[in-house]
Amino acid sequence: MDLLQISDGCQWRKYGQKMAKGNPCPRAYYRCTMAVGCPVRKQVQRCAEDRTILVTTYEGTHNHPLPPAAMAMASTTTAAASMLLSGSMSSADGIMNPNLLARAIIPCNSSMATLSASAPFPTVTLDLTHNPNPLQFQRPATPFQVPFLQGQPQNFGSGATPIAQAQALYNQSKFSGLQLSQEVGSSQLAAQASRPPLQSSQQPSPADTVSAAAAAITSNPNFTAVLAAAISSIIGGAHDANNNTNNNNSTSRTTISSFSGN
DNA sequence: CGGATTTGACCAGCGC
DNA sequence: GCGCTGGTCAAATCCG
């Protein structure tokens, strides 16, 4: 397969592939095979804008223990999320900035964003499950949207239309995390640790690691472009990919992996 | 030979 | 009500 080699610590079996409208690249569907009956699925799709980008959407919660690598990944990502939420990251302007991505979403519903450097490449995770808004369980439809990438960054948190906000809320229930990652090397991807089911607990430890990741990411102009392209891809191509089969307590995440050589 | 992947068909949900 | 799109299934094929 041409699919990603991002090993997230779990074993996945491909069970389908589809051409998504608006995206010349097919979307692949995987199931976790680490345990029989594990409900976790993931979708992998290349970004139409930049095919070096892989967008992976996780859905469901593992019903089995995860490898240590996965747990380690979780620790760093949650820690990074904690840091992000604390506002320790320097803000930056411009749509293309990953910090903005986090900042654009966080104010809306106490969502979470995560940066991680535990892998050979920095990872940004937006954890969107940690909001108590009841709407998130009531919105029946619309998929992931990132209004600020549609031209009006400010709207998301403050001036967004009710519909947009509702959609955002719903999306947060569907995408418990939005993970953005950029490969620094090209052959190191397999070393990436996995991301176990998101946990509400935030571990405030490896802030330094996270800072390093943030620095690496923000100082890398290529990443910003890649990120924007990936988000655009989500907006345009990931629609209602996660509409169903999700219960309120299910977990889904989106990982955007950039393979663009620096 | 067994397991994983590929690929086309089928089904369900949604929008028009 | 119809058509479109996305998601899943299952048979065929490939690889180790």
Which window residues (226-245, chain A) lie with Cβ within 7 Å of strand C?
Answer: 237, 239-243, 245
Q: What are the CA-CA distances from residue A230 to residues A76, A84, A256 (Å)?
A: 22, 21, 7
Measured CA to CA, the distance from residue A74 to residue A197 in angstroms comes to 8
The confidence band for A50, taking pLDDT boundaries of 50, 70 and 90, is: low
Which window residues (13-72, chain A) lie with Cβ within 7 Å of strand C?
Answer: 15-22, 27, 29, 41, 43
Note the pLDDT of residue A59: 77
Measured CA to CA, the distance from residue A32 to residue A86 in angstroms comes to 34
Measured CA to CA, the distance from residue A75 to residue A202 in angstroms comes to 8
Measured CA to CA, the distance from residue A246 to residue A248 in angstroms comes to 7
Per-residue pLDDT tens over the stretch A139-148: 333 333 333 3
Q: What is the CA radius of gyration of chain A?
A: 16
* Bases of chain C within 7 A of a CB of the protein: 4-10
The confidence band for A53, taking pLDDT boundaries of 50, 70 and 90, is: low
Note the pLDDT of residue A145: 35
What rounded mean pLDDT belongs to chain A? 49
Residue A239, nucleotide of least CA–C1' distance: C6
Q: Is the pLDDT of residue A134 over 60?
A: no
Question: How would you list the strands of the sheet with A41-46, edge to edge?
Answer: A12-19, A26-32, A41-46, A53-59, A252-258, A177-182, A123-127, A112-116
* Bases of chain B within 7 A of a CB of the protein: 4-9, 13-15
Per-residue pLDDT tens over the stretch A7-45: 566 788 899 888 877 777 788 898 888 777 787 888 887
Amino acid at A61: T
Return the ∠ at Cα A179 (arms to A246 and A113), rounded to 5°.
95
Torsion of CA A143, A60, A41, A245, to 10 degrees: -60
CA–C1' gap, A208 and C8, in angstroms: 43
DSSP A155-212: GTTTT--HHHHHHHHHHHHH-SEEEEEE-SSSS-GGGPPP--S--S------HHHHHH
Per-residue pLDDT tens over the stretch A67-120: 665 555 555 545 544 554 454 444 333 333 333 333 333 333 333 444 433 333
Residues in chain A: 262
Q: List residues, Cβ < 7 Å, touching strand B.
A: A 1-3, 11-18, 28, 33, 140-142, 240, 243-244
- Residue A163: burial class (beta carbons within 10 Å; 0-12, 13-18, 19+): exposed
Query: Looking at residues A168-184, what average pLDDT do you find?
Result: 39
Calculate the CA A179 to chain-centre distance: 2
